[in-house]
A and B are shown apart, each in its own frame.
Chain A
């Protein structure tokens, strides 16, 4: 079973991440599922009627605007990094938190490296599926790479210039 980092702890993963080309065929009614955006587009009603938990995942070229009106249906929104250097979802996470007020889990999936965790956390991620070949306990340390920051972001509503004390 894969372990993920959530709320600064390593926990066992209980959600099932469905492939991008997943269909409704044979979907469990009770499992907690993170479905690809296309499945949500095509079968939103059916997915909402299930008993299990529901999440959605967006690939790097998919826009959060598309699910902005549906956020209440998702306990998890996972944002995929096909390559760690593709930074589009840093913006997506901030939009989910700061513009759309999403309060559920925002999870980084895909090619997620520990040295990105600090910035991800600042952008509003609170869960990270670290690559399975890496130690998630070591990765936890990177969440504390810095303890002071200049900018306002999802984790800190005030920029340093509004907080500085001389």
Chain B
């Protein structure tokens, strides 16, 4: 992974010093709450329902074991002993003291971490495929490009006070695991006929109140021009994006208002001035950054298919786990493993300090000391030897990471919701738990197969409910918490937004409602048809009829 040099280190240390002084001035009454707000937000600090929430940047989800241990220590020393993996691959602490934040940032800086631009109306953490670098279907490794974008976006002087937040995602593979079409800017690596690398550029995708799938405005942007083109997009947005209504301030509203074609023309006109300027990327820089993402020292191994199949036969639990929680690796003899942070009864994405320490130790022993956070709020060991898989499974079970539910109904994406977040209309964690309990039978869960179930506690859509095959949105109905269900969303290459099923439901009814939806699917599916495919074939009506039939 990328290792800071003296420049990078100096910049984050300057930030710690700056924020320490800003916090001091706020506490001394020299800065008003309103003035401190954007400053703290651009350092990931929210004032939450019970305590501040600090969101720490995990650039494109990548962490070293040293960094994981530091997070464990911060959870212990400054929080209530746990951390939360967010849907932007970041890490959140829910209980730090405001006064302690500068010290936490100081601790983070010792392991090349920070909280820069993890919130606020600025360019946020760039995200990518959690299997970057090891996926068999990869055209290019997106991580060097994410790091190049990270450096360009860090303290970009022109774009610190945008109309609204701005999120970029990069995909380098055939499957889009980075959900690029629901980002403000989505970049997809492509090659032209001459074999040269470039990016297909999508703009104006996004979730939130007005979910929109992005529009591709450039089919081939040569890699040299990546940053100057991003400058042009951001400049058009900064100058012309709406600022009169925060619910209409995302770039998607501007793109829609202008039409993607006119927006593209504006960007092209701006870029004509910037093209071939000093921000044009050099071979040397791309090589400098790429050298941090070369393969680890893989051994020359053979695939262990027969051995693993024998273990499967002997240990059905292992077979089940292997089927769900492992992914093929580009290198023979290796496999990528997902640690589930979704056992029943734990808030999705939550992890304790002890578990973080265990993850760091396991990563050192099994995975070159590196882990990744996924936007599905799980943790990945990307480079595990197949011959060690059985042993690792045992250790993961001991630590509570081996729930075999990756991609299944109980692998729920869920925002912190009304239990923590002051924006939320409704709680989301208890809904997740009620559904997990209802579908606790593993045989049934496996039989149902792949379903993305996403829960957001409000329209801000941190739980990505629009792109869940099943989406649940918490709404406020005369002061009471209700839940709206949508079906048919997808964040994959065939991205689509869910359709609302009908009137919302009370909290206690949610597990029943989801069960009815699943029953319709199970009855209607053809062999090997996933939930989303059945839905697309039969439409929403059969689901609607069943769910509302009992509600006279």
Residue numbers of A with Cβ under 8 A of B are 63, 84-88, 90-92, 94, 99, 113, 115-116, 118-120, 122-123, 145-153, 157-162, 164, 166
Q: What residues of chain A lie closer than 8 Å to B154, measured between beta carbons?
A: 150
Mind listing 8 A-B residue pairs with CB under 8 Å? A85-B121, A86-B161, A87-B159, A87-B161, A115-B22, A122-B157, A153-B157, A166-B5
| Contact indicator B151/A153 (Cβ below 8 Å) | no
Q: What residues of chain B lie closer than 8 Å to A150, measured between beta carbons?
A: 11, 151-152, 154-156
Q: How far apart are A143's CB and chain B's nearest CB, in angstroms?
A: 12
CA distance A151 to B152 in the complex (A): 6
Q: How far apart are A49's CB and chain B's nearest CB, in angstroms?
A: 33
Q: How far apart are A149's CB and chain B's nearest CB, in angstroms?
A: 7
Q: How far apart are A130's CB and chain B's nearest CB, in angstroms?
A: 12
Q: What residues of chain A lie closer than 8 Å to B148, measured between beta carbons?
A: 161
Q: What residues of chain A lie closer than 8 Å to B7, measured between beta carbons?
A: 148, 160, 164
Q: What residues of chain A lie closer than 8 Å to B273, measured between beta carbons?
A: 99
- One of B83-91, B212-220, B276-284 contacting the partner: B276-284
Query: Digit string of B7-34 for contact with A (CB within 8 Å is 1, else 0)?
Result: 1001100110010001000000000000
CA distance A85 to B279 in the complex (A): 26
Known: A86-B161, A119-B157. A91 touches B279 (CB 8 A): no
Known: A99-B273, A119-B155, A146-B155. A87 touches B14 (CB 8 A): no
Known: A90-B157, A119-B160, A148-B7. A84 touches B278 (CB 8 A): no
| Contact indicator A162/B278 (Cβ below 8 Å) | yes
CA distance A32 to B232 in the complex (A): 36
| Contact indicator B285/A161 (Cβ below 8 Å) | yes
| Contact indicator A149/B155 (Cβ below 8 Å) | yes
CA distance A122 to B35 in the complex (A): 21
| Contact indicator A123/B161 (Cβ below 8 Å) | no
CA distance A166 to B7 in the complex (A): 9
| Contact indicator B278/A152 (Cβ below 8 Å) | yes
Q: What residues of chain A lie closer than 8 Å to B279, measured between beta carbons?
A: 151-152, 159
CA distance A147 to B158 in the complex (A): 17
18 more A-B contacts (CB under 8 A) besides A85-B161, A90-B160? A84-B161, A85-B121, A86-B161, A87-B161, A90-B161, A91-B238, A94-B158, A120-B157, A123-B157, A146-B18, A147-B14, A148-B14, A153-B157, A157-B278, A158-B278, A159-B152, A160-B7, A162-B285
